[in-house]
A and B are shown apart, each in its own frame.
Chain A
Amino acid sequence: MRIRRRFWHVFCVNRRVIKKREGREPLSEQESALAKNAKLEVQSVAMTFSAGENGVDALAPVSFALDEGSFVSVIGPSGCGKSTLFNIIAGLQPPSAGTVAIDGEDATGTIGRVGYMLQKDLLLPWRTVLDNVVLGMEIKGVTRQRARATALPYLERYGLGGFEHRYPRELSGGMRQRAALLRTLLLDTDIILLDEPFGALDAQTRASMQEWLLQIWADFRKTVVFVTHDVEEAVYLSDEILVMSARPGRVIDRIAVPLARPRPRAVIGAPDFITLKERCLVHLGHTATELAA
């Protein structure tokens, strides 16, 4: 199974790149005009996994566009295809249909154009924190020496000072996630995908990580797509929330979060915040009476 998965995506990546480059006609004028304003545009992306005779629809056609520098959360029940969607945007899986455009340019099936971070920190145990953080730059062809020099000030600034030469096993869960996020951020990609990055952290660490993330987002001005199970987290962090339905995943609601930034922690108790939270929860299958109780 493991080998299968491993070879599968390699196969996909190669296959897709070739196919796309040859076969795809350029975006129509109208489409590209539409896409010009959007940083990331997902155009009727659908995914069907073929399991024997009948396929499983993981994603119904999904479309949305994100503005540059926005922070968007995606929530939805488990198995709604959030991770599939991320894999498609990151080019790790070819969609059954549809395209992904970055800056109005077709980016379906191309890798290395968005930063992608998973719930697992995936730090390499044989590299120090600093060398883990520079991995992305190294892969892009920057020499390790220069990459280290670039990364060092960021480590200092974002709470990893003094840990540069430690190994990941010596760090706490929160620290490891910080290192993993910095690795994603120091890539020169404008978009980053965060797949439940704080899912495995305890509530307290999670809260401080959320603030840390907002700080870093304000500094880097990247477009962030954030998957989470935690509705409160989604409302607290985002400009906008995309709600997805159960399989096959579709976007069933887009909820704008008009709360002013910077947001103090206390905003969680504000009536506006609670209304937004309830609206999300209703979509996730909690009935109004349940919420009232």
Chain B
Amino acid sequence: MTIEGFTSVAARMGRGVRFRFPSVFVAKRSYRRLPVQRQWSRRSIVATQVLLVVAAIGGWQAAASLKLIDPFFWSQPSAIWKTLQIFFVKGDAFVDIGYTFQATILGFVVGTIAGSALGLSFWWSRNYAAVVQPFVICFESVPKLALAPLIILIFGMGLASKVAIAVALTVVVSTLTTYAGVQAVDPDSERLFYSLGASRFQVFRKLVIPAVLPWTISVLRVNIGLALTGAIVGEFISSQHGLGREILYAGQTYDIALVWVAVLVLAAFSMIMYVAVSWLEKILRKGVAH
């Protein structure tokens, strides 16, 4: 490289000749548009849903008739429909549903109330909360269903054991959520209450409870599902009635159609309770008006 060549390069750099993208890359700058999704009408959404269900049932029926799947193990919609009719007309459908319903609701109510009360009680004493909390978390981490056989032994084969399992499942969630609510109570609001000369009980009743209620309410929908699970598991292990027992019995006797019937009834039942609790939640929320 000659001196001249070097200086000319240096001079060019000095003059600020910069690297540029080849024009191919910069020629056209395009900008993205905000992605907008077209909303389907309510009717088309429902129509699609109906179509999906019909397709699933039709496909199942066809596959079973054509022996693509073994109708003995998979059963088929026509057989399930017949069994369903028998289950409701001749069988003890209502006894089973009533039994499971009772266990679920009792477990739900007792578990939620006991859990919320326990969670709220932590507000009263820092020392008590510190002592008890590890035990609650320990109990939370234990798979409660593993305790089910023990619970059946203690509470017997009747309704009490199902309720107890449902309570065991629901109580911890309620406790922890309520306690989280208690911890979220604004310390400044508490200061305000004390500056007004409030007693601890007044703070508890007029501040802590209303502030924590939305947290307790938010756990209801989770708890109804857990309570149902608890009741069904209790019935699986040992019971004389209930949808869980029906499923177990049908499975053991290879009455696959009856298994499906019980599962469908259970699903419908669970949905109804979910809707009912959502409705309850709405009313309660309006009551506490946050």
Q: A residues near B, CB below 8 A?
A: 2-7, 9-10, 13, 87, 90-92, 111-116, 118, 120, 122, 124-126, 135-136, 138-140, 167, 187
Which of B129, B186, B192 has most A Cβ within 10 Å? B192
Verify if B7 is at the interface (C-beta below 8 Å from A).
no
**Chain B residues whose CB sits within 8 angstroms of the CB of A13 once the complex forms:** 194
How far, in whole Å, are A5 and B126 apart by their CA atoms in the complex?
Answer: 11
- Which 10 A-B pairs have CB atoms at the shortest separation, nearest pair first? A112-B197, A116-B195, A7-B126, A136-B196, A139-B198, A90-B195, A139-B196, A122-B192, A126-B210, A5-B187
**Chain A residues whose CB sits within 8 angstroms of the CB of B187 once the complex forms:** 2, 5-6
- Interface residues in B199-230 by Cβ distance below 8 A to A read 200, 202, 206-207, 210
Known interface pairs A3-B129, A5-B187; A112-B196 also in contact (CB < 8 Å): yes
Residues B126 and A116 in contact, CB atoms below 8 Å apart: no
Nearest-CB distance from B157 to chain A (Å)?
Answer: 44
How far, in whole Å, are A259 and B196 apart by their CA atoms in the complex?
Answer: 33
Verify if B289 is at the interface (C-beta below 8 Å from A).
yes
Residues B126 and A3 in contact, CB atoms below 8 Å apart: yes
Partner of B195, one of A5, A112, A140: A112
Residues B183 and A92 in contact, CB atoms below 8 Å apart: no
Residues B194 and A125 in contact, CB atoms below 8 Å apart: no
Partner of B192, one of A118, A125, A140: A118
Verify if B17 is at the interface (C-beta below 8 Å from A).
no
Residues B194 and A9 in contact, CB atoms below 8 Å apart: yes
Listed by A's residue number, 7 A-B pairs whose Cβ atoms lie within 8 Å are: A10-B200, A13-B194, A90-B195, A111-B198, A116-B196, A125-B289, A135-B196
Residues B195 and A126 in contact, CB atoms below 8 Å apart: no
Residues B190 and A139 in contact, CB atoms below 8 Å apart: no
Residues B206 and A6 in contact, CB atoms below 8 Å apart: no
- Interface residues in B84-99 by Cβ distance below 8 A to A read none
Partner of B289, one of A4, A10, A167: A167
Residues B186 and A122 in contact, CB atoms below 8 Å apart: yes
Residues B126 and A125 in contact, CB atoms below 8 Å apart: no
How far, in whole Å, are A214 and B200 apart by their CA atoms in the complex?
Answer: 34
Residues B195 and A135 in contact, CB atoms below 8 Å apart: no
Known interface pairs A125-B290, A126-B210; A140-B194 also in contact (CB < 8 Å): no
Partner of A6, one of B185, B202, B210: B185
Nearest-CB distance from B254 to chain A (Å)?
Answer: 56
Which of A9, A87, A92, A111 has most B Cβ within 10 Å? A111
Nearest-CB distance from A61 to chain B (Å)?
Answer: 24
**Chain A residues whose CB sits within 8 angstroms of the CB of B4 once the complex forms:** none
How far, in whole Å, are A4 and B202 apart by their CA atoms in the complex?
Answer: 20
Nearest-CB distance from B9 to chain A (Å)?
Answer: 53
**Chain B residues whose CB sits within 8 angstroms of the CB of A118 once the complex forms:** 188, 191-192
Identify the closest chain B residue to A193 (Cβ).
B195
Residues B288 and A126 in contact, CB atoms below 8 Å apart: yes
How far, in whole Å, are A117 and B104 apart by their CA atoms in the complex?
Answer: 48
Which of A7, A113, A120 has most B Cβ within 10 Å? A7
How far, in whole Å, are A5 and B193 apart by their CA atoms in the complex?
Answer: 15
Which of A10, A13, A138 has most B Cβ within 10 Å? A10
Identify the closest chain A residue to B207 (Cβ).
A124
**Chain B residues whose CB sits within 8 angstroms of the CB of A136 once the complex forms:** 196
Residues B290 and A111 in contact, CB atoms below 8 Å apart: no
Taking A135-B196, A139-B202 as known contacts, 16 extra A-B pairs with beta carbons closer than 8 A to each other, sorted by chain A number, are A2-B183, A3-B129, A6-B185, A7-B126, A10-B200, A90-B195, A114-B195, A116-B192, A118-B188, A124-B207, A125-B290, A126-B289, A135-B206, A139-B196, A139-B198, A167-B289
**Chain A residues whose CB sits within 8 angstroms of the CB of B129 once the complex forms:** 3
**Chain B residues whose CB sits within 8 angstroms of the CB of A111 once the complex forms:** 194-198
Nearest-CB distance from B253 to chain A (Å)?
Answer: 55
Verify if B78 is at the interface (C-beta below 8 Å from A).
no
Residues B191 and A124 in contact, CB atoms below 8 Å apart: no
Verify if B189 is at the interface (C-beta below 8 Å from A).
yes
How far, in whole Å, are A266 and B198 apart by their CA atoms in the complex?
Answer: 42
Which of B129, B193, B195, B196 has most A Cβ within 10 Å? B195
Nearest-CB distance from A102 to chain B (Å)?
Answer: 13
**Chain B residues whose CB sits within 8 angstroms of the CB of A6 once the complex forms:** 185, 187, 190
Nearest-CB distance from B289 to chain A (Å)?
Answer: 5
Which of A9, A112, A138 has most B Cβ within 10 Å? A112
- Interface residues in B118-145 by Cβ distance below 8 A to A read 126, 129
Which of B187, B189, B196, B288 has most A Cβ within 10 Å? B196
**Chain B residues whose CB sits within 8 angstroms of the CB of A92 once the complex forms:** 191, 194-195
Nearest-CB distance from A1 to chain B (Å)?
Answer: 10
How far, in whole Å, are A126 and B207 apart by their CA atoms in the complex?
Answer: 10
Identify the closest chain A residue to B125 (Cβ).
A7
**Chain A residues whose CB sits within 8 angstroms of the CB of B186 once the complex forms:** 122
**Chain B residues whose CB sits within 8 angstroms of the CB of A9 once the complex forms:** 190-191, 194
Nearest-CB distance from A25 to chain B (Å)?
Answer: 25
